[in-house]
Structure 1
């Protein structure tokens, strides 16, 4: 299922089993206890809107058969931001696809043995995306300096691995409690901390000054973590066009009021635009049942 600049999409089905072949997974992960199957289902819905901008530099892609979900928010003059977000999503998809069948994997940046194979695959994919965007920006003068945020999720069995660069976010709603699972790579968050930055004036001039993005340097270090899935969980992946206008309370209210992942994604985007979002707005919702 290729990514697309569609306004809304929907999918429902079983959680993907372990994406890697058993020999490799067993050799690497049995001791960590991550080799599990799951009878849970996921429902996915997404929505992206150009908002008041002249072009949509947000881009999203999801492939349920791989357990892969990605949201990117590009930046750069002319159409450079659009190019950056597309390149990043496609590069991440390519590496996850290439490593889904098992067998030998080439790790261009080495491997973190303390991390799961899913975390290693995802962070490697993001770093390869960075390499791709950086190379294209260096090669073409009109694209020089382009970059993009990235949030990516890889589901395998009852585990969800995530990686992030920039200020796009991933939230989890569990039993009515919303938690931000990613850390913003912003100047404000680095100085004030996540909670204080969240509560800061939305008009603060340094609120959206990024300290790390994909594509502006020759390498990047994604934030990453892994979470156990629980039936009833809802995950939200969104660009700052959404969370810049909707605080945690507003996001929770929208999620609790809507009855399905597609409706939740649509309402999040629409509510952000209604509240005056001046940016492209994108939300991808994954509901576990």
Structure 2
């Protein structure tokens, strides 16, 4: 499967530093976005450590042991990467007290020879844009997402709520990660967007769909999404990573 990709990241208009990190390894079929938490330095360390660890596990081809979920090999490789990333964060917090409490989200796509899979923890997101329709493939592990699911809050209200950055799952030193894993069937012409919440936390899915479907080059599409997020206030770090499938 042939894949083109582009990525862009920006600290946003209200942050002095950028705690997002990303990885694009088309040779491995691996694409990851992570959004660090824990304040300046700690958040940057957590996100970069998670991305680097997931990449290293993919390079080695390690995989979690099979279980009763009948996961594909690609899913088990992502599971192994996320588990090792959490352990790496725990090891760092034990040796450096300044980093205690750090954590990160992570959303990843792994395109393997046998199957494609996504793995996800936190409130970064993976979207599929196909035939003009945008579909969110991941579920946010956040307090506001739970309120939206229960019908207690609208998506627009969630984007403005003061607790919108409170996540209920992350890669951290505290617990073994509970990773959402699922297979993904990709078709020619599909675009896949992996983004930190600095994008979808302020920009509507309707606008994201318009930008992805405009037919612009991937690099320009990434930049347009960041410009839109900054135009809406840019309250957080913004990362966009876009894949395009089977481009001639």
**Structures share fold, TM-score greater than 0.5:** yes
Residues 201-237 of structure 1, C-alpha deviation per residue, up to 9 Å, x if partnerless? Answer: 4221222211011114231111111111111110000
Match of 2:98 in 1: 142
Match of 1:121 in 2: 77
Contact map agreement 1:236 1:285 (CA 8 A) in 2: yes
Contact map agreement 2:63 2:78 (CA 8 A) in 1: no
Change (3 A) 1:86 1:194: farther
Q: Which runs of 4+ in 1 moved over 3 A?
A: 194-197
The residue matched to 1:132 in structure 2 has which SS?
helix
The whole-number CA distance in structure 1 between the counterparts of 2:125 and 2:106 is 9
Shift of 1:269: 1.1
**What is the root-mean-square deviation in Å for CA atoms of aligned residues?**
1.8
Match of 1:151 in 2: 107
Contact map agreement 2:6 2:242 (CA 8 A) in 1: yes
Match of 2:176 in 1: 219
- 1:50 and 2:11 are equivalent in the alignment: yes
Shift of 1:158: 7.3
Structure 1: 5+ residue stretches without partners: 1-14, 16-40, 100-104
175, 192, 195: which is aligned to 2:131? 175
Shift of 1:182: 0.4
Change (3 A) 1:191 1:138: farther
Match of 1:238 in 2: 195
Give the number of the structure with larger relative contact order, counting CA–CA contacts within 8 Å between residues 6 or more apart: 2
* Most deviating of 242-251 and 184-193: 184-193
Residues 58-97 of structure 1, C-alpha deviation per residue, up to 9 Å, x if partnerless? Answer: 0111110000001011011331000001100000011110
- 1:111 and 2:111 are equivalent in the alignment: no
Match of 1:74 in 2: 36
**What is the count of residue pairs matched by the alignment?**
243
94, 98, 120: which is aligned to 2:60? 98
The residue matched to 1:228 in structure 2 has which SS?
coil
TM, length-normalised to structure 1: 0.79
The whole-number CA distance in structure 1 between the counterparts of 2:216 and 2:112 is 25
Residues 19-47 of structure 1, C-alpha deviation per residue, up to 9 Å, x if partnerless? Answer: xxxxxxxxxxxxxxxxxxxxxx2110100
The whole-number CA distance in structure 2 between the counterparts of 1:74 and 1:258 is 31
Structure 2: 5+ residue stretches without partners: none
Change (3 A) 1:61 1:194: farther
Shift of 1:131: 1.1
